Amino acid sequence: MEKGLDILAFLEKADEIPVVDVRTPAEFNQGHIPDACNIPLFSNEERARVGKTYKQVGKNEAVIAGLEYAAPKMKDLALQASKVARNNTLLVHCWRGGMRSASMAWLFKTVGLESNVLEGGYKSFRRFVIDYFEKDFPFLVIGGLTGSGKTDILIELSKQDQQVLDLEKLASHKGSAFGGLGEKDQRTNEQFENDIFWALNKLDLNRPIWIEDESRNIGKNILPSGIHKKIRCSSLIFLDVPFSERVNRLVKDYAKYPDEDLCAAVEKISPRLGNQTAREAIQGIKDGDYDKTARLVLHYYDKSYRYGLDKRDEHSVRHIEIEISPNIELATELIRKFSEENHLI
């Protein structure tokens, strides 16, 4: 059997060596180590049959069944691994670090590839991820009412070599009922958590990490409790942006999408908007009066955000008045200057 690595050693090597996940496509799609390549030993159906054989007949019979499925694929599996390998080296894992990864590591070795197996498999990676989210992250939170340009500020901070964790980018969703417009389909919550870990693990925890103030849910994805709690108790810079500027930003960002998609988004929050307000907002879309719709919707989102803001420790919230739309670069510079003067960074 090829040499096993614990999760810390495995992740350290993963910066340089390709990771091969030999689980089924269904397991891989549910959640995987970011950047890993899926070279499944079994198809979804084959694994189900092997598992059924194990339960109903026994281990030896299940192994024989597995060999029958794997044997015709050995050449193709080896060729796939050879294309992925870097300097003839791979990292390999399955679910628990058992027979699938050991078998594939043996196969790879026969064609001249060196491979290390993750002890405990993907299951050990998931345990590590969940525990990791309880760290004391040095978050600096950008807050503000909907349409304040928080995401643009994060983008500009990143350009200025600041550490940024963009949760909405990782979730493929902007957070509101309209947040899925123009985005790719969201992945599973398990994968969302893995992606957050992967991004955080590349950052220096001795330096500030800028992050946007988020509710627990970003579309269908849910923030890990440790991350959400840390966001709620970290220092927050609240952007006071004029209502009219926020309306302009929403129209600019969303009026480009099909009217039927905008109407569907309004329908999602109609119970909270109230039937009359929802009807007026939808009519505004149909009439091309996107300003009207933005104003109606903002009143709901403002009320919701202020409710969460009022629950924060008032001493951790720093307000800064800013005209965000004309000059994002200047706005970002003001925020950084404000943070330095108040010893936040």
Q: Where are the domains of the chain?
A: 4-130, 137-341
With CA atoms as reference, report the closest residue to 147 among 274, 275, 250, 4. Answer: 250
Q: What is the third-level CATH fold of 137-341?
A: Rossmann fold (3.40.50)
Instruction: Give the residue numbers marked as catalytic.
Output: 94
Tell me the pLDDT of the chain (345 aa) as tens digits: 567 999 999 999 999 999 999 999 999 999 999 999 999 999 999 988 888 888 888 888 878 887 888 888 999 999 999 999 999 999 999 999 888 999 999 999 999 999 999 999 999 999 999 999 999 999 999 999 999 989 988 988 888 888 999 999 999 999 889 999 999 999 999 999 999 999 999 999 999 999 999 999 999 999 999 999 999 999 898 988 999 999 999 999 999 999 999 999 999 999 999 999 999 999 999 999 999 999 999 999 999 999 888 888 888 898 888 775 545 666 677 677 767 766 666
CATH for 4-130 is 3.40.250.10
Sign of the torsion angle spanned by Cα atoms 76, 77, 80, 85 = negative
Indicate the burial class of 237 (C-beta count within 10 angstroms; 0-12, 13-18, 19 or more).
buried
With CA atoms as reference, report the closest residue to 18 among 123, 110, 113, 96. Answer: 113
CA separation for the pair 342, 138 (Å, rounded): 15
- HSE toward the beta carbon, residue 151, CA cutoff 13 A: 16
Domains 4-130 and 137-341 in one fold: no
With CA atoms as reference, report the closest residue to 331 among 221, 239, 209, 211. Answer: 239
β pairing state of 19-21 and 4-5: unpaired
Tell me the pTM.
0.92
Spell out a b/e string for 51-70, using b for 16 or more CB atoms within 10 Å of the CB, else e.
Answer: eebbeeeeeeebeebbeebb
